[in-house]
Amino acid sequence: MKNIVLIGFMGVGKGSVARAIVKRTTMMALDTDDVIESMENRSVKEIFAQEGEAYFRFLERRTARWLKKKVEGTIISTGGGFFKVPAMKKIGTVILLNAPFDTIYERILAHPDAEKKLKKRPLFQDIEKARALYEERLPEYLKVADMVIDVSDKDVDTIAKEIIKKGKKR
Ligand code: S3P
């Protein structure tokens, strides 16, 4: 059974959607940032600060190789830049969760843990830089996605149901 791979910008809700799918199916989920953090025994923020972004991207490529070879039937949520690993589509069916940048940012701010959510993301420290990164990545996300879900006005359960329904039709 193929994996489902959730891609999309920071804060769009990839992890929450993965957890909602787990609740409704027998699938298990994993998150590439979690895999990297446990492998390194330190946070993404620490890896960026202590080793730099290039090393983090190397760890993402290493994780991608493992996913391709060893993981199946799993719902995989990914860090916002993970989609750049080579042969991404070989990992599974790629689903882009997307919303306009301002919607994503407003949602993060509305969250009770907003400060924590922003602090742990090294590439979301400057809002204009984050916006530019979103603009740069959007066409690239669209290119790699097998399916695109606009999550702007949807709650997590609705999105999860949509993905499960589409999965059954395949
Ligand atoms: C990144 C997104 C983060 C994390 C790292 C880099 C990115 O994951 O992998 O901070 O390049 O967009 P989330 O998308 O879960 O925030």
CATH number at residue 16: 3.40.50.300
Q: Which ligand 1 atom sits nearest the alpha carbon of residue 53?
A: 6
Within a domain: residue 65? Answer: yes
Q: What is the pLDDT of residue 168?
A: 73
Within a domain: residue 152? Answer: yes
Q: Where are the beta strands (DSSP E) in the chain?
A: 3-7, 28-31, 74-77, 92-98, 147-150
Within a domain: residue 71? Answer: yes
Within a domain: residue 116? Answer: yes
Q: Whose CA is nearest to atom 4 of ligand 1?
A: 79
Within a domain: residue 170? Answer: no
pTM of the entire predicted model: 0.97
Q: What is the pLDDT of residue 1?
A: 83
Q: What is the pLDDT of residue 4?
A: 97
Above 80 in pLDDT, residue 37?
Answer: yes
Above 80 in pLDDT, residue 167?
Answer: no
Domain that holds residue 142: 4-165
Could you count the other beta carbons within 10 Å of the beta carbon of residue 27?
Answer: 17
Could you count the other beta carbons within 10 Å of the beta carbon of residue 86?
Answer: 9
Q: How far apart are the first and last CA of the chain?
A: 11
Work out the pLDDT band at 170, boundaries 50, 70, 90. Answer: low
How many whole angstroms separate alpha carbon 56 and alpha carbon 62? 10
Above 90 in pLDDT, residue 169?
Answer: no
DSSP 150: E
For ligand 1, is residue 122 a contact (CB within 6 Å)? yes
pLDDT digits (tens, 9 = 90+) for 116-163: 999 999 999 999 999 999 999 999 999 999 999 999 989 999 999 999
pLDDT digits (tens, 9 = 90+) for 12-32: 999 999 999 999 999 999 999
With contact defined as beta carbons under 8 Å apart, do 97 and 6 qualify?
yes
For ligand 1, is residue 10 a contact (CB within 6 Å)? yes
Domain count, the chain: 1
Q: Ligand 1 center to residue 29 CA distance, Å? A: 17
Q: What is the pLDDT of residue 28?
A: 97
Within a domain: residue 88? Answer: yes
pLDDT digits (tens, 9 = 90+) for 49-96: 999 999 999 999 999 999 999 999 999 999 999 999 999 999 999 999
